[in-house]
Structure 1
Amino acid sequence: MQTLFYHKNAQRKVVIILINNSYKVTNIQISALQFFIISILFVVGDAILYVPSLIVQGSSHTIWIAGLIGIAEAVLLSLLYALVSKQFANKGFFPYLELTYGRWLGRVLFLLFLLYVMVDVILMIFEMGSFMVTVIMPETPLEAIIMVFLLVVIIGARLGLETLSRAAEVLFPWFCVFFFLLVCLNLPNAKFENMQPFFEGGIHAIFKGNISLASYIFESVILIVIFPHIREKDQATKAYIKGITIGVTLLVIISLLSLLVFGLSTLKMEFYPSYLLGQTLEFNFFSHVEVIMAVIWFISLFFKVAICFFVSAQGISQLIKIQDYRIVTFPIGIFLFALSFICIPSSMYLIHFINSTWLSYSVTYGLFFPLFLLAVELIRKSRKSHRVNGR
């Protein structure tokens, strides 16, 4: 029995080595600073355009309270994601699932997670196309806009995570400058009486508005796949927590500013209130100031979609055992392009889906999924310590 015991252990070690060699993650590395920047841009993403309108639908004048609760949630959720990510910091997400849950269950869990990521990509590329057709380029076909944007995303994903991270590092200062200008130029138009009455609607209204913000925070769980690629492991957790928290804070700032400038009645009628912040600015020597908001949104949206696309391509290549994920980028792009029109027939359907379905879908993967992974890991470690102490 003793020989058989060691033989089984030896077989398991061989499997671990083979899996780690097949899905090596150490060849792609980014710095903790780059991950911090990516986390901010990822959270801001597409949310900066819609969050003010979505939060105010539920929380009314208590949007600032819902936002403060959202910042606290961001800290707790990012801490949860960091704790989960530490379990596979040197393995990779997919190998970890296979080793922990077995080949079939691990693959099923990973496939379900990839479906969540790809659904998110479908929503975002359609959001981008719908915004462009509605506001900026009404005469351009929706299909052409989505195709061009998706092609740029595919090129970015094919260049790799390291290139995307360096590009984010270069564009992030411009993102900060434009965001600062948008806020500062709108401050003279802010009216603090638009925040009154305080605590309107009570706790129920605050909770309802906060849920809309939380649905976007949950999406940052996708970044756990990037976590093993961080070079400075000791700084990775801080970068994760700070990045997500700052990203949510920026969303709260833009939401509060929209309420102060437009008031509740106008904000409820506008689907793109953040973009309207730029349109309301007027200068004798400078027109189309709304391009400031467009630049902020395009920068954050591109990196969020590109990271999600990279995760999808890398994950599918690991599932079908292809060493180079770039091989599957164009097939995935064609697949997502087709699904964006099959699954989302119109902009009104997209709004209905986000308000009715996306929250429950997002909370499943953004809260319950990492809690499940962490609970299983704690049980495994507890049993392992009991066996060691028993011996």
Structure 2
Amino acid sequence: MLNDLAYARQLDAEDPLRSFRREFIIPSDQGKEQVYFLGNSLGLQPKRTASFIDKVLQQWSRYGVEAFFLGEDPWMHYHDHLIKPLAAIVGAMPSEVVVMNQLTVNLHLMMVSFYRPEGRRNKIICEARAFPSDQYMFETHVRAMGLDPEEVIVEISPRKGEHTIRLEDILSAIRLHADDLALVLWGGLNYYTGQVFDMKSITDAAHAVGAKAGFDLAHAAGNVNLRLHEWGVDFACWCSYKYLNSGPGAVGAAYVHERYHEDHSLQRFAGWWGYEKSSRFKMEKGFVPVPTAEGWQLSTPSPIMYAAHRASLEIFAAAGFENLQQKGQALSDFLLFLLDGINESADSPVLEVITPRDRASKGCQVSMLMHRRGKEVFDRLFREGIFADWREPNVIRVAPVPLYNSFEEVWRFAETLKQAIRE
């Protein structure tokens, strides 16, 4: 690699995915495109999103409620457009994916089915300092079951002086609590450090002691390699407004392994949209679930939110998710190379990358612990038209994503960062 603008432009010229940037609306200021590295918080808007939503609005205006059944694309079957491309992204069978609600709601619903404490087997293992919505979900769900979070929730932290959590410590905790463990519910990718976890090993270890394994994939879906079905994961949930570019507050999704689809002993909260499709409109008493992941649906979905999601998923399908993963890794590798150069040119290290460097343990996100004037540097980046993320007390997160970010933008970011640190 070279720390050179011409080299970055060469990488862009050779990039087979470069044309997909034109599919998105890039933020601009006075006609100048900004560098948007916040796809890990909210993905950019595809240009086609407005037309997809407008088609739904036109159906509504033309048919009213009958748009569920009439027109070229009846809403009743809209979900079918989503599950195949989404299944390819998360490594699942289409029947194992359901698009519904939002992330934390879906986590609660999955907890109803997969956290079934019995006697002393009531503990949950999770990562310490998980994203707050997960923490609050755990706390309130466990309390609602009459249990004390302090007694049943086991949090695993990095070792003293380290930023990431070692796999061996996760597996050791699972073995330690083998007799009283009911569930391992872990993040696929840590929102703060960008660490990708070995989900297969965690799943295997949980199953070996008789516990269930589920994952919050908020920062993993649309970003890193997932093989949920192959790994035997019991369930997973994710949002679609980050790497999946489906808009603020976009509809979420869940995965349920096929072995549970016709398990009638499984507890669940039910609603009429999860009722068996052929007889749903008979409105009969007694819940009969759809024999797929769709059986976990509760309420009538919003076709408008489905349309926004579909607009982005079609771009993913056209690009090919394996291709996107390769470019995403190349972007972050280039960024890590440039950040190392900044440290090497300084009298002493000015930043510390707290994201793992091996490709199996990172995705698009790179998190930097700033040793000097971090907030001032961050503010300078914003003034220079670079969208990054500040996390207290002194971490800057950036996520160059393969659909709409370029190698030249990565180079521009590093150059601006270097200048800001020097000044």
TM-score (norm 1): 0.29
TM-score (norm 2): 0.27
Structure with bigger strand share is 2
- Point out which structure has higher relative CO (alpha carbons under 8 A, 6+ apart): 1
Structure with bigger helix share is 1
